[in-house]
Chain A
Amino acid sequence: MKPAAFDYIRADALGEVLDTLASDGGDARVIAGGQSLMAMLNMRLAKPKVLIDIMRLKEFDRIEVKAETVTIGAGVRQAALLAWPELAATLPLISLALPWTGHVQTRSRGTVCGSIAHADPSAELPLALIALEGEVHLRNRKKRRRVTAKSFFAGMMATDRADDELIEAVSFPASTAPCAFREVARRHGDFAIVACAAVATQTGVRFSVGGVADVPTARDWPRLEGSALDDALNAFAYELEARDDVHATARYRRDLVRSIGRDLVRKVLQ
């Protein structure tokens, strides 16, 4: 497996990235840590004509907390976020979920924004973005815009990003609400068969599921208990339209959503 030929651009300034995206658009791909994109290139599932490496742009290597919002730049590696001393206090859900993202050998290179950009339906960071109602910060040469997590994920590995846009950051509202996360995978660090997150809200609970539908999906519920909770989980499990694949049957996935969901929702509503 070898990538198809491409020109490689080592960007030294943001303007160069945006200019190249404006001129080459769909033929160009941005590479950061490369832990998803390089595999796509090796398998020739992606065949860009131009690869733009943004990892030498120092301005992207930044985690900022402002007005109860944590903004993570496009150059921040997953290992750096995991080692950020304020993570557990400001984003406890991410401190639970991020150790499940890949392995120590891939988190050391892979970036937070790169995982969001790749939009794998079973990945933990897109699930966390949906669970916490975060935002994706996009910009092209002319303007910036922010997209909610729900609008950003358009389908399996498909997003709302236009060809000339760069993801410059993602942001999460700082949340100290009770939360819980659990994942089932063949091997720790492999892609999730089912990953679930529950976060307590003012009125009840927000329960999110990855690995089942084409995009991570959330439901907001009041304080449900007993059979009302079981019914809500069962309905949600079917609404996700699970499919059979080599890793698990649809039925097993629905069962995981129900059983993990019951545990997590009860835990955060205690």
Chain B
Amino acid sequence: MTRLKSAARHPIRFTLNGKHVDGEAEPRLLLTDFLRQQIGATGTHVGCEHGVCGACTVTIDGSLARACLTLAVQIEGCDVRTVEGLSPAMDRLGILQTAFRRNHALQCGFCTAGILMSLDHFLRHHPSPDESEIRDVLSGHLCRCTGYTPIIEAALEAAAELASESRSEKVDA
């Protein structure tokens, strides 16, 4: 049994987007605040802080999770992925991100980090989705700018592009 006292900070070791990270947190510190304030990974946004808006969505050990409904101490030894891990390089956007840009799937961008994480996870597991499946995924997110339609178009375009890319990889091989 591990008992972490409320008043103390405790070491936390985990991987963030594939890199090993060491941090420290009190038991009550939320993963959102831990990532943003301790680690300096501010891509994950803080919206409602009770699991409704989806802005803080990340993946933990390959599963989608609300970072605001997760304690930093719970990710000890876990593989955490955030929006910072989506682009292939600092100056290059990924296929889904590029499709968002092309379709104006974001305006203020506040909800975008969480939505990208959900759609990236979804497209990995559902390479040829239809619109209703994408709408179901988006029901876990609030966007007050776009009306969602451009987001759906971006997701469908990204899915098609990812599919043709994997086909051409097969032909090359």
Contact = CB atoms under 8 A, between A and B. Distances in A.
Main secondary structure on chain B at its contact with chain A? mixed
Interface string A183-196: 00001110000000
Q: Which of A1, A11, A49, A106 has the most CB of B within 10 A?
A: A106
B1 A11 contact: yes
B64 A6 contact: no
Contacts, number: 107
A104 B118 contact: yes
B65 A108 contact: yes
Chain A interface size, under 10 / 10 to 19 / 20 to 34 / 35 or more: 35 or more
Nearest to B62: A108
B49 A105 contact: no
Interface string B51-94: 10010010000011110111101101000000000000000000
Given A13-B1, A42-B49, A53-B74, A108 B64 contact: yes
Interface in A7-52: 7-13, 16, 34-35, 38-39, 41-43, 49, 51
B168 interface: no
- The size class of the interface chain B forms with chain A is 35 or more
B139 A7 contact: no
B6 interface: yes
Contact of A16 (B1, B65, B73, B139): B1
B5 interface: yes
Given A8-B6, A10-B73, 8 more contacts: A5-B6, A7-B5, A8-B3, A42-B68, A104-B137, A105-B140, A106-B51, A109-B69
Interface of A: 1-13, 16, 34-35, 38-39, 41-43, 49, 51, 53, 55, 79, 102-106, 108-109, 187-189
Interface of B: 1-7, 26-28, 30, 33, 49-51, 54, 57, 63-66, 68-71, 73-74, 76, 118, 122, 136-137, 139-141
